[in-house]
Structure 1
Amino acid sequence: MGGFSYKDIYIEDGRSVLEVNILPEKNCNFDCIFCPIGRAQNKVDTQKSFDKMDSSLRELEKKIENTKAELIFINSKGEAFVNDKIDDIVDLIKGRGLPVRLFSNGYLLGKDEYMKIANKCDEVVGELKVVTEEDFQKAQRPIKGYTLVEYISNMVTFNKQYKGKFIFEITIIRGYNDDEKSIRKIKNIINEISPDKIIIARMDDKRFEKKLGIPDERFVEISNALLNI
């Protein structure tokens, strides 16, 4: 099984963006209960080989040429670092003179081998969904041995040495991080990581929206509190 998949090209801040998923199926170091992609049958945080990578790289080249994309966004089904060709993928895009945005949940950014790859990218996105160790273990179900403290520390370590634009995406989830105590914790985490840009998101998948979604008024209130620190 192999191959990349793509979203339709779209405009963001005046640039045409080509979004590519470099994983043929979900491969992640987490198994979040609210993941829109579904369950991670095999949690993994080491690189693995996939089929059809040579043809996928050629296809990516053609996509870049045909779409005239101005930014390539590697946003995959799971953790993109798992693909052992990710370094080649980034090099191919950079070789075409285009900027790369890489989405990672952020846990692996503290490891030297992955930090080196991420440092080649113009923009790196890390994320946060819960703020207690109990919720991290029960709701995000990471690989055994992972901790929330290390998760945050890895992003802090990465961003201290990163020369590009670090984007921190925080998803507000009802019952997990929407109370005042959690918002104070998130503010402290933002200050620790010191990102270049903050994105406040919420559950927009219909399967989770009723149980985990945030009312508009509360979402605006939280967004204002976090974006103005």
Structure 2
Amino acid sequence: MAYRHLFGPVPSRRLGTSLGIDLVPQKTCAFNCVYCECGRTTDHTCERREYVPTERVIAELDDFLARAPDLDYVTFAGSGEPTLHSGIGEVIAFLKGRYPRYRVAVLTGSALLTNPEVRAALMPADLVVPSLDAVSEEVFLELNRPCPGLTAGRVLEGIVTFAREFPGEIWLEVFIVPGINDAEEELLRLKDAVAAISPDRVQVNTLDRPGTDIRVRPASRPALERIASMLGGNAEVIGAARTGQVMPPEIGEAGEIILATIRRRPCTPGDLTALLRIRPTEVAKHLRVLEAGGLVERVREKRGVFYRAI
């Protein structure tokens, strides 16, 4: 079976070896964050609907997981906001019913957590990782660039309500962009928000790959550690991904798989080697072909040369 809505397994900086589920077309989201590694939002919306066929997603998961791969998580992430898909609850219920050995994680920008239907859909998951990058409206608008009508207050309200109801783990992500949300006043507001949410963990993050806005640069490690200390005792700075034995690609040509991976997020050649278990020489060969064909371009960042889709 060709997998259209699954990616990986990949070594995640937070979740170990993770099989990704992509429920929306690229790039469908309630936000257009300046730092997003998936690129600029092209479908800027808060509308929930069945963006891709739910039955197809379930069939792909059933086919892949029937081989009993060694995974730390099955994760809803990918090209946009997964809770925009109206069938996410059905997919989670399938996973927990048919393959209970696998932990299910949902990464969300938190835009829809005020919706009771969304909160109910996420209840069977093991882990939800909501994002909260700003509390003041002006910083929220500059950093997250939400769809019309969405406010920082509503986002915070949704996370607090969800945290009270959810029986699983909540790891709150705070993404730091120097010069936008790292001022003392905003950090104090975030500290109060963290106290109201009371998550199991607070994960302080910064740019690891090229973002939407080329002016955005990563925060330094000392700055992140200072912010984590300020936000509370359960806050931590997200480290590098741990690599390990992951499944080699079995569907399609290596070049197609590399391009599909880069379309979801920029990667270094080393990232691709670790993610896909393809020899470095093979990765380099395919990248040259993709670059010559005008499908990818190079971008130099702090961590090295990244390739991103054009």
Give the counterpart letter for 1:41 in structure 2: T
Partner of 1:56: 57
Deviation of 1:13 (Å) = 9.0
Q: Which runs of 5+ in 1 are unaligned?
A: none
User: 2:80 is matched with which residue?
Assistant: 78
Quick check: 2:105–2:129 contact (8 Å CA) kept in 1?
Answer: yes
Q: Could you say which structure has the higher helix fraction? A: 1
C-alpha change, 1:178 and 1:87, in structure 2 (3 Å) is same
What CA distance in whole angstroms lies between the structure 2 residues aligned with 1:53 and 1:139?
32
The yes-or-no answer on 1:181 pairing with 2:182 is no
- 1:201 partnered with 2:205: yes
Please point out which of 113, 117, 122 is paired with 1:109: 113
Q: Equivalents in 2 of 1:106, 1:14: separation in Å?
A: 19
Q: Whole-Å Cα distance in 1 between the matches of residues 135 and 15 of structure 2?
A: 34
Bigger radius of gyration: 2
1:214 aligned residue (214, 219, 224): 219
- 1:157 is displaced (CA, Å) by 0.9
Q: Which structure ranks higher in relative contact order (CA pairs < 8 Å, sequence separation ≥ 6)?
A: 2
TM-score, with structure 2 as normaliser: 0.66
Aligned pair in 2 of structure 1 residues 178, 70: CA closer, same or farther (>3 Å)?
Answer: closer
| Counterpart Cα distance in 1 of 2:15 and 2:86 | 32
1:22 is matched with 23
- 2:220 maps to a residue whose letter is P
| 1:123-142 correspondence to structure 2 within 5 Å | 123-142=127-146
Q: Detail structure 1 runs of 4+ shifted over 6 Å in the superposition.
A: 11-15
For 2:26, give the aligned amino acid.
Answer: E
Instruction: Spell out, residue by residue over 1:66-98, the C-alpha distance to the aligned partner (whole angstroms, 9 max, x if none).
Output: 224352111132110122221221112111113
For residue 59 of structure 2, what is the amino acid of its counterpart? R
How much has 1:174 moved relative to structure 2?
A: 0.2
Amino acid at match of 1:228: G
For 2:51 and 2:224, locate their aligned partners in 1 and report how far apart those are by CA, in whole Å: 40
8 Å contact kept, 1:130–1:176:
no
Unpaired segments of 5 or more residues in structure 2? 235-310
For 1:116 and 1:104, the matched residues in 2 are separated by 14
Counterparts of 1:12 and 1:131, CA distance in 2:
25
Give the C-alpha shift of residue 149 in structure 1: 1.1
C-alpha separation between the residues in 2 aligned to 1:71 and 1:154?
A: 24
- How many aligned residue pairs are there? 228
Structure 2 distance, partners of 1:122, 1:192, is 21
How far, CA to CA, are the matches of 1:120 and 1:213 in structure 2?
A: 34
1:148 — aligned with what? 152
Give the Å deviation of 1:8.
2.5
Deviation at 1:12, TM superposition (A): 8.1
Please report how far the alpha carbon of residue 109 of structure 1 lies from its aligned counterpart in structure 2 after TM superposition. 1.2
RMSD between superposed Cα atoms in Å: 2.5
Mark the CA change 1:14 to 1:52 in structure 2 (over 3 Å): closer, same or farther: closer
Judged with a 3 Å threshold, the aligned counterparts in structure 2 of structure 1 residues 212 and 132 are, in CA distance, closer, same or farther, namely farther
Contact 1:174–1:212 under 8 Å retained in 2? yes
